[in-house]
Amino acid sequence: MNTYATVVLAAGKGTRMRSTLSKLLHPLAGQPLLAHVLKSVETIPSTAAFASLRASLTASRPIVVLGHKAEQVLEAFGDRCLYARQEEQLGTGHAVLAAQDAVDALDPLPETVLVCYGDTPLVRSEILAQVLAEHSARQATITFLTATADTSSDYGRVVRDSHGQVREIVEVKRATPEQLSITEVNSGVYCFDRAWLWKSLTALPRNAAGEYYLTDLIAVAGAQERAIATVQGSFDESLGVNNRVQLAEAEQIMRRRILEQHMYAGVTIIDPATTYIDSDVQIASDTVLLPNTIITGKTTIGSWCRIGPGTTIDQSTIGDRCVIRNSALEETVLEDEVSMGPFSHCRPGAHLARGVRMGNFGEIKNSYVGEGSDVHHFSYLGDATVGDHVNIGAGTITSNYNGLTKQKYRTTIGSGAFIGCDSVLIPPVTIGDHAMTGASSLVNKDIPAHTLAYGVPARVARTLPTATDEDAVAPELGKQE
């Protein structure tokens, strides 16, 4: 075996999900079901089992068989895969045959076809590689993955003869009571000899259910005395998602796996039961996650951070040594040593530079806050650019939305500026470097650098010395720590 093609079946109706969304797009740990399968398929070449294969295997992009709600799947995965179409959903065997042209168009022509189902998201690359390796070692016509399930499961039963040879796979609907008591089940991962696969699928008759089952090929190969090999995997890896109960089971297993990966990689998770981390999240070692913390999307977190309790972080980048307590962050960048909360909210486009401190009940949106700046309690910064070492007093508001023109304007605050408590900044407005506003100022005009302005509306009262001793310069400002 020198090359293999991978075919992932994703055309089924998914009726048991009772959803208008394609079953394969239902999220599991923040990624569509199908994405988990594709990731496992794509990472086969980096596994230990694959390395042990003597032949050099080359694989193209996986071929995904689309049918029901094909457009939704196409939109989600684009050119990550190659695609084949199954116009009518006549069963898993029929679906694989729909991929024949796509497989046969590959150069070099693969000897082996690896088939996976798009609804088994927990299958890992290592076990897929083991199925390939076993198939190669045994020079089998079919090699498939099995698991042990309890007798009430809805998986196809693996029927063996008295010598332990596989004879057939029987689907639950057609199984006799005796066959139903078999606990070895079909996980839905197969390697086939390509030439044999096309010949046999083309000749396969419709079964009693009126469909073409891929599993019926086992009996065909058995009758021809062909080599059929199996690999035994864990039940978890084989879990198929047909309904939302199984979706929740898969979610639990996947989440536990993700938490364990992080813990083994050096992240402390105080309470795994209340910590949720999506599969795309990266966290560096020595970071501590406190209870009730939910980290989703493509989020990256540095080392020695302390996050939580009660914190949600989505699609964000967090540097090293940050402390985030009881806060919510979306599409936010925190550089190193930012401290936040409790009860802060960073909305999309918030970027807090190194050492920023954000107090409780603050909100920042689409704004940059420079190094070492303080954004004190009860503040709102929207569409603002704030320089380094700025003090934003408690209750400061950028009034960025003009209700009359429906436009949003920017506020710019220079480095070293001091915005007194309860200031309302009405943009477009620029406050110069080291300028100051008095408490309760309404700032609707630019304030030049090194000047003090206050009042409603704020007007420049005087120029400030360039010394940085705030207390000496403006005792009347009522700085609040």
| CA–CA distances in Å: residue 229 to residues 20, 55, 140, 161 | 38, 19, 6, 14
- Closest-by-Cβ residue to Ca ion is 240
Binding to ligand UD1 in span 75-94, by CB under 6 A: 86, 89-92, 94
For this structure, is 377 an active site residue? yes
Task: Output the smallest distance, CB 92 to Ca ion, in A.
Answer: 9
139: DSSP letter:
T
Phi-psi domain of 457 (left: phi exceeds 0; alpha: psi -120 through 50; beta: other): beta
Determine which residue in the list 50, 77, 83, 117 makes contact with ligand UD1, applying CB under 6 A: 117
Task: State the maximum Cα–Cα separation within the chain, in Å, rounded to a whole number.
Answer: 99
The nearer residue to Ca ion, 121 or 341, going by C-beta atoms, is 121
Choice from 119, 168, 251, 388 touching Ca ion (CB under 5 A):
119
Report the phi/psi class of residue 198: left, alpha or beta, with left for phi > 0 and alpha for psi in -120 to 50: alpha
Q: What is the spatial distance between Cα 8 and Cα 64, in angstroms, rounded to a whole number?
A: 5
Name the pairing type of β-strands 351-352 and 333-334. Answer: parallel
**C-alpha dihedral (80, 83, 87, 91), degrees to nearest 10:** -90
**Single residue of 111, 134, 168, 171 touching ligand UD1 by CB under 6 A:** 171
Q: Is position 62 an interface residue for ligand UD1 (rule: CB under 6 A)? A: no
Regarding 240 and contact with Ca ion (CB under 5 A), the answer is: yes
Q: Is 383 among the residues that bind Ca ion (CB under 5 A)? A: no
Candidates 114-122, 334-342, 357-365, 409-417: pick the segment binding ligand UD1 (CB under 6 A): 114-122
Q: Decide if residue 186 touches ligand UD1 (CB under 6 A).
A: yes
Distance in Å, CB of 111 to ligand UD1, minimum: 23
Q: Are 36 and 69 in contact (CB under 8 A)?
A: no
Contact flag: residue 118 with Ca ion (CB under 5 A): no
119/337 with CB nearer Ca ion: 119
User: Among residues 68, 135, 377, 434, which one is catalytic?
Assistant: 377
From the list ligand UD1, Ca ion, none, pick the one residue 432 interacts with, judged by a Cβ distance below 5 to 8 Å according to partner type.
none
Select the residue whose beta carbon is closest to ligand UD1 and give its number.
Answer: 156
With binding defined as CB under 5 A, does residue 91 bind Ca ion? no
Q: Does 10 bind ligand UD1 (CB under 6 A)?
A: yes
Phi, psi of 441, rounded to the nearest 5 degrees: -85, 150
Give yes or no for residue 89 binding Ca ion (CB under 5 A): no
- CB contact at 8 A, 190 and 115: yes
Q: Which option in Ca ion, ligand UD1, none does residue 141 bind, with CB closer than 5 to 8 A by kind?
A: none
Tokens of 161: 């003869």
Q: How far apart are CA 120 and CA 131, in angstroms?
A: 15
Closer CB to Ca ion, 35 or 369, in the complex? 35
Contacts of 394 (CB under 8 A, 6+ apart): 359, 376, 377, 378, 379, 421, 422, 480
Report DSSP letters for 296-314, one per residue.
ESS-EE-SS-EE-SSEEEE
Among 72, 207, 242, 303, binds Ca ion (CB under 5 A): 242
Chain residues binding Ca ion by CB under 5 A are 119, 240, 242
Task: Name the residues annotated as catalytic.
Answer: 377
By the criterion CB under 6 A, which residues form the site for ligand UD1?
A: 9-12, 65, 67, 86, 89-92, 94-95, 117-120, 155-156, 169, 171, 185-188, 213-215, 240, 242
